[in-house]
Structure 1
Amino acid sequence: MEASTSNSSSAIRSWRTTFLTLRDEVQTSPTATTVIDLLNRFIFAQSETLIAAAPNLPVHEVTSDAMFLVELARTISNSRGDDDALNALVQLSNLFQNFNHLISFKMTSSTWGLVLRTFGGMVEMFLGSAGIRQDPSGNIAVTEATKQCLEIVRSLVDVNQRTIILSDNVQLLDFLLKTVSFSQNVLAPCFSSGIQGCAPESRKMILRRNSLWEIQTTAFTMISEILSRVGTSLPADHWQSTVDAFRNIIDVLASKGLLVES
């Protein structure tokens, strides 16, 4: 019991020292390269310790520090998207998911805006040209990181559904439509290769395609939930964007003969 308490206290001290030091190091507007270096030194090197400390800290403290990491992730997602940036964002998405499993984050409109804009930038980097350039055959890590971002947002919506307002729903819809668009851009070329007769080196592409289908399924499910909550209050352009997203995927499925009339 005493050992457990000692370990918990040590983890809490480590958390607080880490974030105080990190905040001191990021006083000015750092470059993405600097941010990545600081994250490698102070966060990723002891991520297991930070994860262990999170449940023993006040929720508001974890929330504040987690949002600080989201701000740093935004800096990286606004960069040119080299391999170091992608790897850092993949590690951050994994860390965010671990925190989210341990803490019920209470969101405000400002934190919703920060998370959705940042995660939107992360998804764009994961599924955009940077992610494809890193591994054209299908990088499972960036696809899984995209799924994590989506799962985190869905969990946040579930926890905060009583306080989420129309403007938050509109930002959420923008994020989901962006996710659908980028995942569809990556998914469309995958239709050309089938499972039967597929070369062994293409198996990774099949796994990625399945993950992309999961991403689209989750995103469209969340979109339908938004329409159920606030559909009558959504701006006309968001309705149009939503209809266009549905039409685009139906057109692709129809062109590949994947739709069956009932």
Structure 2
Amino acid sequence: MDIGIGSYALFWEWHEHPQPLPIDAMIDRAAELGCDVFEICDDPRILAYDASALRSLRDRAHDQGVQLQLGTRGIAPDHLARSIVIAQALEARVLRSMVERDDADRGLDHVVGRLRQSTPALAAAGVTLALETYEQIPTTMLVEAVELLDTPQVGICLDPANVVAALELPVDAIAAAARHTVDLHVKDFAFARQQGWVGFTLSGARMGDGLLDLEHELAAVYADGRSPAAIVEHWLPWQGDSETTVGLERDWTDATLAALRASAA
């Protein structure tokens, strides 16, 4: 199992921070933590990098033994084409994206048709598209789209926390998507009562303190010789100030990496 972190494990170090962490420093952090992988995910700053800057990131990661992945959103062919070029420049073999609601609402045939337009470019670049489980598209539709495409260039990025917002059970998402998983996002999550006991908040939790059955998830995903990277993420609420929030974010990262390494041992 290759273990790594992504941009969402460092979210508060490049949002609401007096000195936002640049992408090259994120790669350094992944290396310092002994990670195999760093996923540059939903970070708009990467779009401003020219070919030379992308090569510098690639070389920086290579020198530290860190594989890069890229993450974006959407399945429009022109958008994916631009992302594939960036992924290829970074030597990122996995491109995570998501089917957004506008596409999902137009139905399975529409989703498959759009994705099919991108498969030749993915194959030519040696990049696998990992479509994330999300509340914006039913997991059953996402799985069906991947099965209809029937190509090694398109699989699933499994994150069972995301589907709760669509009233899906995480265990059902794992059961449906595990065999197609080419990338795994790992974060714990929990419900908490809002003040006044009026409703709930679904939010992140320190690994082991929430509802994620990590051992079940890993057993399902890594069965039958599958070997996707496991990428640490968080849904950490703002704690009132940057120092406290970043300190807790780092603690959660350490806890999740330790749990993954213990499972892989």
Q: Same fold (TM over 0.5)?
A: no
Which structure carries more strand by proportion?
A: 2
- Whose helix fraction is larger, Structure 1's or Structure 2's? 1
* TM-score of the two chains, using structure 2 as the length reference: 0.28
Higher relative contact order (CA 8 A, sep 6+): 2
